[in-house]
Structures are given as structure tokens and as C-alpha cells.
Amino acid sequence: MVVNINQNSTSFDETLNVLRFSALAQKVVVLSAPAPWDSAPHRPAMELALIIDEVVVLSSPAPRDSAPHRPAMELALIIDEVEARRFRGRKSSLGWEQSLTDLKEEEEGEEEEEQMEETVLEAAADDTVEDGQTLEQRLLQITKLSELNQQKNRVIEKLTSTLNQTIEDATRERSVMESVRTELKEARDQGEEARDQGEEARDQGEEARDQGEEARDQGEEARKRPRNSSDKETAPAKRRAVLEEEVWRLHEENDKKEQTICELNQTICRLEKQLQKKEEELQKRKEDLQKKQEELQMKEKEKKEELQKKQEELQKVSPISDEAQLLQSFIS
């Protein structure tokens, strides 16, 4: 009987079963395998082959008077010892496989850790790039906000200067109007005084005219009288001449006062026209000033709302304000 002992671990149990139920073994053949001698899967088969090589190979069947079952018993003992060695080898191979598995798991764990570290580093690099881009965008927004704030301040300063200039012009025009009103009041007072004086002069002129007419009547009566009464008529004639001169003087004064009254009336009309014109200009200035104040209030309200929105955006940006300052200092 020829038994081939295969070194493959999958045929090991089959080989043992063949040897266990065979009575005698005439030849043991050990097949060569590509696996090394001390490899774990082939080690039990090699040990079994070595043990079976020690068995005495019988060239002929045993005689009848010899113990027929002795080789079978020895073979059974050998197989038991082989099984024990196989169990120990299997335990050692299992330990070695377990250690190899642990080593592989450790290597796989290290590879996974390295991959995780690489992934974390790549993610950190991506986050850093995104943070840099976000910081640049926030810095650009902050720059735009500062420019808008400066523009708002310039507009407010310009509007404030315009408002101050308008207030100064209105104050100056108001003072001019007050002076015009004062002059107009003085002119009216002077006109009334001149009118009163003219009326008095007119009254005096009328009285002088009456006296002149009376003197003229007396002169005519004196002419009609005889010559012997010439001495008596000398006094009324002289009186008539004086009265006539007084009448002419009063007429001249009355004419001058009437001329003065006309001039004063013209001055009053001119000042009234100037006052009306100044009042219209002042009213227009007031309307313009009110419109500018309303525009200034509207613009200031809009700027406040815009500034409030920008402040809210800045508050949103505030968690990265320190990084933005560092980036701005780095860029500058």
C-alpha cells in the first residue's frame, strides 16, 4: 500500500484518516511544495511525514505467528502523537496567525490614522484657505464700510457748512431788514413831522394871505381917499408891504415843505418797496432753509440707518476682527 502525504493543510485530515485505517505502510512519499519548511500551514504535515519516516517499512506481510496488530497499534500511537503535535502546532500557528492578524490590524490602524491625519491636514488646509478668503472678503467689506463712513462724514460736514452759511446769510439779511425798517420808521416819523410843519405853514400862509388881502383892501381904500390923508395912509402901506413880504416868505417855506413832503413820500414808497422785496427774499430764504433742513434731516436719517446696518454687519464680522486686523497689518 502506498500512501502519499500531502503537505497542503486542506488535505492533512484526509491523510491522517488514510494512515489511521491502513494496517501496514510499505512506503511513505513526501511531496515537495513551494512553501518553505518552517511555514505555519505546512508544519504539521511535515512533522507527520518525519514521524512516519521513522516507521519500519515492511517489505513483506508478517507471518501468522507474529502479532498482526502490532504495527497498527504503533501506527495508532504515532498518529495520536502526531495529532497532539498538530494540536500544539495548530495552537502555535493560531497564535502566530493571531499575532500576524494583530500586526496587520495595527498596520491597518496606523495606515488609517495616517490617512485620517492626512485628511485632517487637508481639511485644515482647506479651512485655512477658506478662512483666508473669508478674511479677505471681510477686510474688503470693512474697507468699503470705512469709505462709506468717510463719505457720509464728508456729506454731513458739507451740509452742515451749507446750513451754517445759509443761517449766516439769513441773519445778515434779517439785520439789513431791521435797519431798513428802522430807516423806514424814521422816514415815516420825519414825513409826519414835515406834514405837520407843512400844515402849520399852510395855516400861517392862509393867515398871511388873509392879512395881505386885508392890507390890500385897506390900500385900495386909502387910494380912494383924498390926498390930505396921505400921512395917515403911510403906516398902513408900510404894514401892507411887510405883510406881503411875509406872505411870500411863507409861500416859499410852504413850497419847500411840500417839496420835502413829496421827497419823503417818495422815500417812504421806495423804502416800502425795498422792505417788501427784502421780506419776499427773506421768506424765500426761509423756505429754502426749511427745505435744506428737511433734506439734511432725511439724509441724516438715511445715513443713520445705513450706519446702523453697517454696524450690525460689523458686529457679525467682529468674531474675526482680530484676524482681519492681523491680515490687514500683514497686507500693509
Quickly list DSSP for 101-122: HHHHHHHHHHHHHHHHHHHHHH
Instruction: Tell me the pLDDT tens digit for each residue of 53-77.
Output: 444 333 334 444 444 445 556 666 7
Question: Does any domain span residue 323?
Answer: no
69 shares a domain with 176:
no
Question: Does any domain span residue 263?
Answer: yes
Mean pLDDT of 14-39: 50
Question: Does any domain span residue 222?
Answer: yes
Mean pLDDT of 157-180: 80
Instruction: Tell me the pLDDT tens digit for each residue of 182-231.
Output: 877 777 777 777 677 667 766 766 676 666 666 666 666 656 655 444 44
32: phi then psi, degrees, rounded to nearest 5: -80, 145
Domain with 27 in it: 2-112
- Alpha carbons 10 and 3: distance in angstroms, whole number: 16
98 shares a domain with 170:
no
Instruction: Tell me the pLDDT tens digit for each residue of 106-153.
Output: 777 777 778 887 887 887 777 788 888 888 888 888 888 888 888 878
| Domains contained in the chain, number | 2
Of 112, 127, 150, the position where a domain reaches its end is 112
Of 112, 141, 174, the position where a domain reaches its end is 112
Q: Where is mean pLDDT largest: 101-115, 154-168, 251-265?
A: 154-168
Cβ burial, residue 198 (10 Å; 0-12/13-18/19+): buried
Mean pLDDT of 229-247: 63
Question: Does any domain span residue 78?
Answer: yes
Predicted confidence at residue 169, as pLDDT, reads 79
206 shares a domain with 84:
no
**Residue 160 in this model has a pLDDT that exceeds 60:** yes
Helix (H, G, I), strand (E, B) or coil at 33: coil
Instruction: Tell me the residue length of the chain.
Output: 332
Whole-angstrom CA distances from 174 to 166, 171, 269, 285 are 12, 5, 20, 11
Predicted confidence at residue 70, as pLDDT, reads 53
For 5, the enclosing helix (H) or strand (E) is strand 2-5
278 shares a domain with 174:
yes
Question: Does residue 82 or residue 298 have the better pLDDT?
Answer: 298
**Residue 49 in this model has a pLDDT that exceeds 60:** no
204 shares a domain with 101:
no
* Residue 36's pLDDT band (cuts 50, 70, 90): very low
Question: Does any domain span residue 181?
Answer: yes
Predicted confidence at residue 274, as pLDDT, reads 76
Question: Does any domain span residue 146?
Answer: no
Q: Are 29 and 48 in contact (CB under 8 A)?
A: no
88 shares a domain with 173:
no
- Alpha carbons 153 and 299: distance in angstroms, whole number: 11
170 shares a domain with 101:
no
CA dihedral 180, 181, 184, 189 (to 10 degrees): -140
Mean pLDDT of 233-250: 68
For 317, the enclosing helix (H) or strand (E) is helix 230-317
C-alpha cell at 106: 495595527
Of 275, 292, 309, the position where a domain reaches its end is 292
Predicted confidence at residue 52, as pLDDT, reads 47
170 shares a domain with 77:
no
- Average pLDDT over all residues of the chain: 67
Question: Does any domain span residue 39?
Answer: yes
108 shares a domain with 170:
no
234 shares a domain with 176:
yes
Buried b (16+ CB within 10 A) or exposed e, 140-152: ebbeebeeeeeeb
CA dihedral 174, 179, 184, 186 (to 10 degrees): 150
Predicted confidence at residue 305, as pLDDT, reads 80
- Alpha carbons 51 and 270: distance in angstroms, whole number: 151
**Residue 178 in this model has a pLDDT that exceeds 50:** yes
CATH number of the domain bearing residue 189: 1.10.287
283 shares a domain with 217:
yes
Question: Does any domain span residue 98?
Answer: yes
In the chain, the largest separation of any two C-alpha atoms, in whole Å, equals 239
Instruction: Supply the DSSP symbol for 6.
Output: -
